[in-house]
Structure 1
Amino acid sequence: MRWTVGSAHTLYQDQWVHLQTATVDVPDGPRFDHRIVRTANGAYALVVHDGRVLLLWRHRFICDTWGWEVPGGAIERGERSDRAAARELLEETGWRPAGALEPLVDFFPMGGLISAHHHVFVGHGAVHVGAPTDRFESERVVWVPLADVRRIIGAGEIVDGTTLLALLALLERVG
C-alpha cells in the first residue's frame, strides 16, 4: 500500500537539516502527522589497494562512539555523486583514487524518516597527495587489511550503518 502526503510544513531549517511535519493518509487507515528529516544525499568512497581498504578511525559525539568509517559526506548542489565521493576521499584522507570510482551500492539509510540517499563507490588503487585538508574528520587514516574486516565488524568496531553496509557489499563483491 502506498502512503500519500496531503501537506507538508517546515518546522525548522538550516544549512544541514530541514525538519518537516507532514499529514499522511494510509489507504483504508488513519490520517496522521509524521515527521520528515530532509538532508543532503551522501557519497562515499571505498578504496582498495594491495588487499587493504582505506578507513577513518573517528569519534561520533552524537552517539558517543568510536569506530572505523568509510570516507564520505554530502553531495554539493550540482555535483555528481562519484565526484563528490572522490572529493570527500581526498579531503578526509589525503588520498586520491588512482582511477575511476565504480558504483558499489545505493541505499536510503533510514527511509522511514530521513530523505538522504547514500551512494557508495569503490576504487582500486590510490595516490597519496598529502595530509587531509579536513583534519577534524578523524583521529587517524589507516589502510586496514580486507582480511581483518569481518573481525572488526564482529568486534563492534564499526558502528556506522553506511560503513557497515559498504564493507559488507565490498566483501560480497571480492568474495
Structure 2
Amino acid sequence: MTQWTVHGTRRIYDSEWMSVDLDDVEIPDGERFEHHVVRLPHPSTAVVVVEGEHVLLMWRHRFTTGAWGWEVPAGRLEQDESPEIAAIRETEEETGYRVQVEPLITINPLNGISSHTTHIFVGTNAVKTGEHDPAEAAEVKWVPLNEIPAFIRKGLIPCGITLAALSTYLTLQRTT
C-alpha cells in the first residue's frame, strides 16, 4: 500500500472557526509539494429527522454559493459537547423540533482538502417545541421521502452533507 507522507505543516490562517495550513507532502512516487488543508477545530453533526414516510427539511439560502436548497438540520459541536447532544441541540435550534437520535454514518465531506468530520444521525419522535430560526431557514417542511429522488434530480438539494445523509438513509432503509 502506498500513502502520502506529511513532512511538516505551516499555518497560514487561524480563527476560532477554521485554519488553513500548507502541508509539506510527499506522494508515493517521491514528488514533494505544498498542499492546502482546511482544518476545522470542531466536528459537525447533521440529522435526518423522519416521521413515518416524511423527512424534515429546511429551505435556506447559502451566501457562499448563492444557492437556495433543502437541507437537513446541521451544525458544529460546541466545546466538550458530544455529537449526539449537538445533533439534538442543532435540530431544535434550527427547526423548532426536539428529537431522539441514533447514529447513521460518519463522513469526511471534503477529505481531499479538509480534515473535517460530520456525524450524521437519524432523528425520531419529533416534538414541536417552538418555531424555526428564521436566520437558519426561510421554511421548515415535512417532505415525503419518496419525493427526495426527484428533489435531488432537480437540483433542489445542493448541500453535499444533506445529499450524503439522505442518500445513506434511503439506501439503508431499503436494504435492512
Classify the TM-score, shorter chain: over 0.9
> C-alpha displacement at 1:50, in angstroms?
2.6
> C-alpha displacement at 1:118, in angstroms?
0.8
For residue 165 of structure 2, what is the aligned residue in structure 1? 166
> C-alpha displacement at 1:47, in angstroms?
1.1
CA distance in 2, matches of 1:172, 1:124: 18
For residue 21 of structure 2, what is the aligned residue in structure 1? 20
Q: Which of 56, 59, 62 lines up with 2:61 in the alignment?
A: 59
Which letter maps to 2:33? F
CA distance in 2, matches of 1:75, 1:4: 30
Are residue 149 (structure 1) and residue 151 (structure 2) matched? no
For residue 45 of structure 1, what is the aligned residue in structure 2? 47
After TM superposition, list the pairs within 5 Å mapping 1:1-175 onto structure 2: 1-39=2-40, 40-97=42-99, 99=100, 101-132=101-132, 134-175=133-174
CA deviation profile, 1:45-77 (whole Å, cap 9, x unmatched): 111113111111001111111100010111112
CA distance in 2, matches of 1:35, 1:174: 37
> What secondary structure, in the 3-state scheme, does the structure 1 residue paired with 2:37 have?
strand
Stretches (4+) displaced over 6 A: none
CA distance in 2, matches of 1:173, 1:6: 40
Which letter maps to 1:14? S
> What secondary structure, in the 3-state scheme, does the structure 2 residue paired with 1:84 have?
helix
Which letter maps to 1:155? K
> What is the TM-score when the length of structure 2 is the normalising length?
0.93
Percent of counterpart pairs with the same letter? 41
Gaps of 5+ in 1: none
Gaps of 5+ in 2: none
CA distance in 2, matches of 1:27, 1:174: 39
Which letter maps to 1:129? T
CA deviation profile, 1:109-144 (whole Å, cap 9, x unmatched): 110101111110002220000013x43011111111
> C-alpha displacement at 1:13, in angstroms?
0.8
